[in-house]
DNA sequence: TAGATTGTTAATCGATTAACAATC
DNA sequence: TAGATTGTTAATCGATTAACAATC
């Protein structure tokens, strides 16, 4: 598939670089150094250079990185230079929020299909998208060659949903349900469960004990 | 403040243990081994034992861990045995979704105060909570001794908001805005920006190139 | 040439996993 | 006693940071 030697932690930082580069661009800079990027993102400059070196040589010694050029390169690496439709499963408040974000920033990564099991939701509109019955999900994903999905359903349904998604050809999943999903090795699942995050943050809530 | 030697990565796993233990409990098990917990969460048993060992000796050799006892211990470590009010800033769709989750599972960590800058939102109700004007935020947080906050405002306002929160005594922040926030060392910020996550996931969307 | 900054190697640091004595 | 499983030390692995030659 893809070069599997790239550490996950490196891939996860690429969008941060992209974000910072976009800021540089809009502030008019033509070039930027790893030093400057590091300051903006609170990261070690050596780390940034090393991360980028996994994918090629994008900078010039003594000068730094040409902003637009590096943006193009990272967008290509992340596949953001092509259209990537995303399927959203679960049309609750969270799903709606995700939909809004997805459309606000007109990315190539965009939620294009929304599914829900509830007859109350099916047929309604979320951010201009029609909510479809889960029964149509597998066919729809297959026919439109969708590879990315977001799970925003209750915990008890998440495993069933992910199995359907994987069976339909989904390879990358962002999971908001608070469960550890079982998937084949080839499928990438990223957990984004904020109740879990919030509980762990409680540890850092100062108290007088 | 707190024993600062505990790695962040360990603290972040504690809620997972809690989740798995709760399942054990409801399935009727009185004890559980690190082996079993590891299988349920897809973690190495040695890691689980080592994580717990940071906080004490909670198991019995040859037996495992008493489920309810370990639940109590972890809840205490995470401060979940006392009431922890959370302030939510930003009453959009995301904020509403967060509010719902926070109330559904009647945790001690619960969103109790909601703030927004928009006159359209102020005064309205979100999950039984009145949306307050940001102008009241600092006083409200101070007076009610709130230590945890969630930022669900647009990126351009996040830094201003976090500075107000820190000034009012907040020590733990869950940030949904796609920006790197500047805060004093004593304040813990956890980023939960899913657009960034989604972009990095695109790397794993299989393609034919 | 002097100053800046990359790409890369080596050093450090931290986290995960294996192994095992202790003991239920 | 034999089998299971902890707590903990040692070994491994991986990620971050420092250092520096190459070079713009």
For chain A, say whether B200 makes contact (Cβ under 8 Å): yes
The set of strand D positions with any atom below 7 Å of a protein CB reads 3-9, 14-19, 21-24
Prediction pTM value: 0.93
How large is the average pLDDT for residues A26-43? 97
Is the pLDDT at B209 greater than 50? The verdict is: no
CA B6 to C1' D6, in angstroms, rounded, equals 21
Distance CA B183, CA B172 (A): 11
Is the pLDDT at B144 greater than 90? The verdict is: yes
Reported confidence tier of residue A1, pLDDT bands at 50, 70, 90: very low
> What is the per-residue pLDDT across B20-49, written as a single tens digit (0 to 9) for each?
999 999 999 999 999 999 999 999 999 999
For chain A, say whether B157 makes contact (Cβ under 8 Å): no
β B125-126/B129-133 pair status: antiparallel
For A157-187, letters b (16+ CB in 10 Å) and e give bbeebbebbbebebbbbbbbbbbbbebeeeb
Asked whether residue B63's C-beta has any atom of DNA/RNA strand C within 7 A, the reply is yes
* H or E element at residue A112: strand A109-116
Chain B residue numbers touching A109 (CB-CB < 8 A): 198-199, 202
Contact A202, B79 (CB under 8 A): yes
Is the pLDDT at A6 greater than 60? The verdict is: yes
> What is the per-residue pLDDT across A149-208, written as a single tens digit (0 to 9) for each?
999 999 999 999 999 999 999 999 999 999 999 999 999 999 999 999 999 999 999 775
- pLDDT of B47 reads 98
Reported confidence tier of residue A13, pLDDT bands at 50, 70, 90: very high
A41 to B107: CB separation less than 8 angstroms, yes or no: no
CA B7 to C1' C14, in angstroms, rounded, equals 9
Q: What is the DSSP string of A114-168?
A: EEES-TTTTT-EETTEEEEEGGGHHHHHHHTT--EEEE-S-HHHHHHHHHHHHHT
B180 to A94: CB separation less than 8 angstroms, yes or no: no
Q: Looking at per-residue confidence, does A209 or A36 come out higher?
A: A36
Is the pLDDT at A71 greater than 90? The verdict is: yes
Asked whether residue A63's C-beta has any atom of DNA/RNA strand D within 7 A, the reply is yes
Is the pLDDT at A106 greater than 80? The verdict is: no
How large is the average pLDDT for residues A99-123? 89
> What is the per-residue pLDDT across A45-58, written as a single tens digit (0 to 9) for each?
999 999 999 999 99
Could you tell me which residues are beta bridge partners of residue A125?
A130
- pLDDT of A102 reads 83
- CA A194 and chain centroid, separation: 15
- Alpha carbon distances (Å) from A47 to A12, A50, B182: 13, 5, 20
For chain B, say whether A140 makes contact (Cβ under 8 Å): no
Contact B116, B122 (CB under 8 A): yes
Q: What are phi and psi of B63, to 5 degrees?
A: -115, -55
Q: Return mean pLDDT, chain A.
A: 94
> What is the per-residue pLDDT across B52-84, written as a single tens digit (0 to 9) for each?
999 999 999 999 999 999 999 999 999 999 999
- pLDDT of A203 reads 96
- pLDDT of A192 reads 95
- pLDDT of A4 reads 57
A190 to B205: CB separation less than 8 angstroms, yes or no: no
Nearest to B190 by CA among B1, B11, B5: B11
Is the pLDDT at B201 greater than 70? The verdict is: yes
Size of interface A-B (CB pairs under 8 A): 176
Asked whether residue A44's C-beta has any atom of DNA/RNA strand D within 7 A, the reply is yes
Chain A residue numbers touching B112 (CB-CB < 8 A): none
Is the pLDDT at B86 greater than 50? The verdict is: yes
Is the pLDDT at B183 greater than 60? The verdict is: yes
């Amino acid at each position: 598939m893809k070069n599997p030697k790239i550490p996950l932690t490196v891939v996860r930082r690429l969008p941060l670089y992209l974000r910072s580069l976009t800021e540089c661009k809009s502030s008019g800079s033509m070039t930027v150094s790893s030093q400057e990027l590091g300051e903006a993102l609170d990261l070690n400059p050596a780390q940034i250079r090393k991360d980028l070196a996994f994918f090629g040589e994008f900078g010039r010694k003594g000068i730094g990185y040409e902003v637009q050029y590096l943006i193009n390169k990272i967008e290509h690496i992340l596949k953001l230079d092509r259209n990537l439709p995303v399927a959203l499963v679960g049309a609750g408040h969270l799903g709606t929020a995700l939909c809004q974000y997805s459309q606000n920033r007109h990315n190539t990564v965009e939620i294009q299909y929304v599914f829900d099991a509830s007859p109350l939701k099916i047929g309604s509109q979320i951010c201009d998208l029609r909510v479809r019955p889960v029964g149509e999900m597998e066919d729809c994903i297959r026919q439109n060659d969708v590879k990315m999905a977001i799970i925003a359903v209750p915990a008890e349904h998440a495993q069933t949903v992910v199995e359907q998604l994987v069976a339909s050809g989904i390879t990358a999943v962002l999971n908001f349900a608070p469960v550890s999903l079982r998937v084949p090795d080839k499928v990438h699942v990223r957990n984004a469960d904020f109740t879990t995050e919030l509980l762990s943050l409680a540890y850092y809530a100062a108290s007088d004990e």
